Amino acid sequence: MKKVKFLSMLSSITFVIATMCIPFSVFAADVSTQDKSVLAKMDIQNAGFEEISSDTVKEPLLNWTYDFYYKDDKYSTLTVDKNEHHSGKNSVRLDSIQPNDARMFQEFTAEPDSLYRLTAWVKTKNIGTAQIGANLSVRDIPFTPSDLKGNTTEWKKLTTYIMTGKDIHSIKMSFGIGGYGSLNTGTAWFDDIVAEKVDQMPADGPFISLNPPQVDGIANGQSQDGSAESTSQPNTTMIYAITFIVMAGLVFLVYRMSVKGEQKVVDNNGELNEELIVPDEAIVPEKIVPEKIEVPAKSTVPVKSSTSDKIKSQVKTGESTNVIKKNAKKEFYQEEN
């Protein structure tokens, strides 16, 4: 019984430890993925929009250039928002009141035949769902591999991978609402823009190839309608979580197997009675059949008839009384002698 209690306690502790390790393993997986894949961090100027010269943004936003299809303010406006921000004190707010392709861009130096990862933190409000939404892309490329539509109450991370070509030495990274031939409306906030040179990408990562430039509107990770799920990290976190859950399940299974056959028997008071614990596979002794006792047969030894018995027999046969008495008297004297 003590062994059963010990195994039960050990199994419970192991399960709790494995469950507690899941968030730490997820965190470690993200960090290790970033550290191993990042080869260099590109120098993006004013990536958090902390350097401003005016609350109303157009050219005064340092190191960023605006590019609107319709340039009139009645279509789209850019402002620095000091109330909404992912980090720091500011973010950039883009409002497209009427359908427009409105974006900001910045060019940074890149190496030929290299892979880059662009990321940005984005929050949206009332972005139209029929056209390209808030996105992170490359200027002069007629599609966007990842975007956000509708309303997002929390900040979300957008990711796009860029593969340069043989003669590509720079990338014009852009963010905005809408795209080429896909004008849209709504509000989006952008913050913490990052560009990194990496050595790998997930198989389903939003992808743009600049060698040659993709012009058919279809990129890896993009559907026919131009929409795609935002991807921030490879799915290693899910693998780690599933691994630990499976390990915990195996520990529990081993515990169950170790106590198989044990039954908890309770007495009339509802308490565990250790003396009544019976294994499931207890060996039941065979039914004992008592040996057959032979009774000796009835004795066949002849019994000597008495004189009275003989008299009765003779009476029945009709012999005379005198003869019977005479014979009986004779036999009596013979027995006495």
Residue 129 within a domain: yes
Q: Are residues 100 and 212 in the same domain?
A: yes
Q: Are residues 48 and 143 in the same domain?
A: yes
* Residue-range definition of the domain harbouring residue 168: 42-233
Among residues 57, 164, 149, 52, the alpha carbon closest in space to that of 103 is found at 57
Q: Which residues of the chain have pLDDT under 70?
A: 1-36, 53-61, 212-238, 254-337
* CB neighbour list of residue 332: distance below 8 Å, 6 or more residues apart: 307
Residue 99 within a domain: yes
| Exposure class string for 244-253: b at 16+ Cβ within 10 A, else e | beeebeebee
pTM of the model: 0.54
Last-in-domain residue among 233, 250, 273: 233
Among residues 204, 236, 241, the alpha carbon closest in space to that of 223 is found at 204
Residue 279 within a domain: no
The number of folded domains in the chain is: 3
Q: Are residues 253 and 326 in the same domain?
A: no
| Exposure class string for 19-53: b at 16+ Cβ within 10 A, else e | eebbeebbeebbeebeeebeeeebebebbbbeebe
Residue 302 within a domain: no
Given strand 102-109, what is the order of strands in its sheet?
65-68, 102-109, 170-177, 134-138, 147-148
Q: Are residues 52 and 146 in the same domain?
A: yes
Q: Are residues 59 and 181 in the same domain?
A: yes
Q: Are residues 332 and 193 in the same domain?
A: no
Q: Are residues 106 and 135 in the same domain?
A: yes
Q: Are residues 85 and 226 in the same domain?
A: yes
* Structure confidence by residue, pLDDT tens digits, 262-291: 545 455 565 555 555 555 454 555 556 566
Last-in-domain residue among 215, 233, 251: 233
Q: Are residues 216 and 72 in the same domain?
A: yes
Residue 270 within a domain: no
Residue 256 within a domain: yes
Residue 244 within a domain: yes
Taking residue 94's Cβ as centre, other Cβ atoms within 10 Å add up to: 27
Calculate the alpha carbon distances from 5 to 15, 100, 257, 264, 265 in Å: 15, 69, 14, 12, 15
Q: Are residues 69 and 155 in the same domain?
A: yes
What confidence score (pLDDT) does residue 140 get?
Answer: 85
Q: Are residues 184 and 53 in the same domain?
A: yes
What confidence score (pLDDT) does residue 295 get?
Answer: 57
Residue 285 within a domain: no
Q: Are residues 131 and 180 in the same domain?
A: yes
Inter-residue contact 87 to 48 (CB < 8 Å):
yes
